[in-house]
Amino acid sequence: MHGDPEKVGKRSSPALDWITENARFEGDDCLPWPFHVGKDGYGRVHEPRTGKLMTASRLMCVTAHGEPENPKLQAAHSCGNGNKACANPKHLYWTDHADNQADRVEHGTTNRGERYGLSKLTEADVRYIRSVNGIIPQKETAEKLGVDQSTVSDIVRRKRWGWLD
């Protein structure tokens, strides 16, 4: 509305400048994001065109490797340190959600099982549920552990905690 349209909204951004300057970073160590980091440990930056908040690793991946073939692809970390604000372009690559989640499991950075903050059960509880299945009624097991019978059923059928042996 006011001023030169070529200059309005084109303020300098230290975060965006840092991305541009480090898009060709050659080091092998993690490159920590030096600006805002969310509670989840991922760096955050405002997307240049829309101003939407996004992960710094995604913007770095776009800057260093180009736009993803599909907008649903995610910027994954080969180092496993995305949750420690790593923004090294050599550690970033495009992948789908399933592969990114598999990487999180491999790197030990997923919040499944006991690591999920709202989980009422431990791994020992889940193993107990499976060991008494068919011996003790699921309703009784559920009451003992303070969960719903449907939760016990889902665990037995491996719809929940399916990854646990």
What backbone torsions phi and psi does residue 37 show, to the nearest 5 degrees? -125, 130
- The pLDDT score that the predictor gives to residue 7 is 53
Helix 123-132 and helix 149-156, axial crossing angle in degrees, nearest 10: 80
Domains with residue ranges and CATH for the chain: 14-110 (3.90.75), 114-156 (no CATH)
Share of the chain above pLDDT 70, in %: 93
User: Is pLDDT of 90 > 70?
Assistant: yes
- The pLDDT score that the predictor gives to residue 126 is 93
Mean pLDDT, rounded, for 115-121: 81
Nearest to 84 by CA among 47, 45, 33: 33
pTM of the model: 0.67
